[in-house]
Structure 1
Amino acid sequence: MLLAGHVAPAAAQYAAGPTITLEAASDERRRGLSWSDGDPVLRGSVSVPVAPGLSLDGAATTLWGSDRHGGADAVLDLGGTYARQLGGLRLTAEGRYHIFPGAADSGDGWGYGEMGAIAGFSLGPASLDLGARYAPRQSGIGGDNLYLSSSAAVGIPGTPLTVSGHVGRSSGGTRDPLRAARLRPAGDYWDHGVALDWYRGRWSAGLRYADTDIDAPDSAHAGATLIARVGLTL
């Protein structure tokens, strides 16, 4: 999500053509919560520019029978992103729908949609992003969900390394406590993390530390962890 705000000027994005990324990671953790029950995952994503600043995006990630998402074997993230560069200010709007193949059929589905906006600022090799993402009230998540975040990144001069960090707050209303626990297992909570990433040509790798303020016994798959990843961009 941090990198989603680091967009190039719209015309350059459009000229770049489709981008495909393949990745392996030791865990699929979003907003401090493990979606893969702590198991390693494989991920493939594609971004296709369709107009200056506008792209259609899709990603598929293995979940291996995730308890958090009704036994789903995978999650598909489908949507679009619109980005504008105004001097040193980056503005991004996005919409996503999350589909969970293999999830138990309860009659009303496990999928849900959300929308978001990011404002980013750059100063030399450093950047700061402020984001808000909102999922309106849906049966799949037992209510609604708001995620506010701030993140920062800096490239280490003379190296292929980038250091980044973030802090986020998840909140929302609850109508079905069991479904709401998918995104907020103990009610409203904070998450935070830091990462070190290496980029060399089409290859990348990284280590990320992630944690939340969720206390035991609700901390299953929400406690402190170190995640490793390696990726290839085509």
Structure 2
Amino acid sequence: MKKIMAAAALASAVLASTQAHAQEEAPGPVTVSGSVALVSEYRFRGVSQSDRAMAVQGGITIAHESGLYVGTWGSNLAGWGTFGGANMELDLIAGFKKTFGSATVDVGATWYMYPNGFDNTDFVEPYVKVSGTTGPLSLTAGVAYAPKQEALGAWYADGAAAASGVYTNPGDKNDNLYLWGDAAAGIPNTGLTVKAHIGYSKGNDGLGPFATSVAPTGEYWDWMLGADYAIPTTPLTLGVAYVDTDITTAKAAYLQPSFSRGQDGVGSIAGSAVVVSLTAAF
């Protein structure tokens, strides 16, 4: 009897210790995650926002167990991508994410800001994303629609008008549609993940304030093929990706000289490129 009682007491102590340990490790209602990255070039929907030069980027997200989340993300800019600001993009993000069966639905909006720039270069873009997995493959489909705003309008008819600094249609407002699909698959026991992306943009066919545009030729496709390698025992991921668009030199001719490296009319910022990144997640 003493042995049975001792065993019961020991089992009770072990169970209590296990439950306490589980409670200590159990995540709270709010989680914080983020990352910092060094990239060889910042490409936004296939177009360079850093004048084909390196960029430092980082972001943080605060999520509640209900599915609500807020976050921010930033990057340095150069050339075409500056949007009249202080060579920086700062995004404010808010949304709601929920899983229904095997699919996760994410609804939110991004406010693209360019600190110290003019207010008419900032714009808001709501989005909806649906993601899921099938075997080792993760799939995401999304749509982002920015309603009519001055930042998306055709203030300049072409690059020549932009170079002169005389607006063709000041105050013009336009909208922008972006559709995309992503796929990723991990290769077992290697630390490697292969990934792919395709996107379609439709917006104005001119240049907005400060000779910029989210859909520079009015309508175009962008795509990416790449791979990520999670470096063992570290929070680091090394990535490499081939990025390209169907914006040809002929299509982009009316955008020059703004739509070029150094904004001198020489070299496209929408041509193919290999982008290398090193990311630390926390």
Shorter chain as normaliser: what TM range? Answer: 0.7 to 0.9
* TM norm structure 1: 0.85
Q: What's the counterpart of residue 192 of structure 1?
A: 223
Greater helix fraction, Structure 1 or Structure 2: 2
CA distance in 1 between partners of 2:134 and 2:28 (Å): 24
CA distance in 2 between partners of 1:156 and 1:169 (Å): 28
Greater strand fraction, Structure 1 or Structure 2: 1
Give the 3-state SS of the residue equivalent to 1:17 in structure 2.
strand
More deviation, 155-164/193-202: 193-202
Query: 197, 221, 231: which one pairs with 2:269?
Result: 221
Q: What's the counterpart of residue 42 of structure 1?
A: 56
Deviation at 1:208, TM superposition (A): 1.1
- After superposition, what is the alpha-carbon deviation per residue over 1:120-161, rounded to whole angstroms, capped at 9, x for unaligned? 121121111111001111001211100011121111111211
Q: What's the counterpart of residue 139 of structure 1?
A: 150
CA distance 1:13–1:45, change in 2 (3 Å): farther
Deviation at 1:72, TM superposition (A): 3.9
* TM norm structure 2: 0.72
Given residue 30 of structure 1, which amino acid in structure 2 is its aligned partner? F
Q: Give runs of aligned pairs for residues 50-199 of structure 1, distance below 5 A.
A: 50-64=64-78, 66=80, 69-70=83-84, 72-103=86-117, 105=118, 108-142=119-153, 143-173=174-204, 177-179=206-208, 181-199=212-230
CA distance 1:173–1:65, change in 2 (3 Å): closer
Given residue 224 of structure 1, which amino acid in structure 2 is its aligned partner? S
Q: Which runs of 4+ in 1 moved over 3 A?
A: 12-16, 64-68
Deviation at 1:64, TM superposition (A): 3.9
Q: Is 1:205 paired with 2:216?
A: no
CA distance in 2 between partners of 1:208 and 1:81 (Å): 28
CA distance in 2 between partners of 1:33 and 1:14 (Å): 40
Query: Highest Rg: 1 or 2?
Result: 2
CA RMSD of aligned residues (A): 2.1
Gaps of 5+ in 2: 1-25, 154-173, 253-258, 260-267
Gaps of 5+ in 1: 1-11
Number of residue pairs aligned between Structure 1 and Structure 2: 218
Deviation at 1:36, TM superposition (A): 1.1
How many percent identity over aligned positions? 31
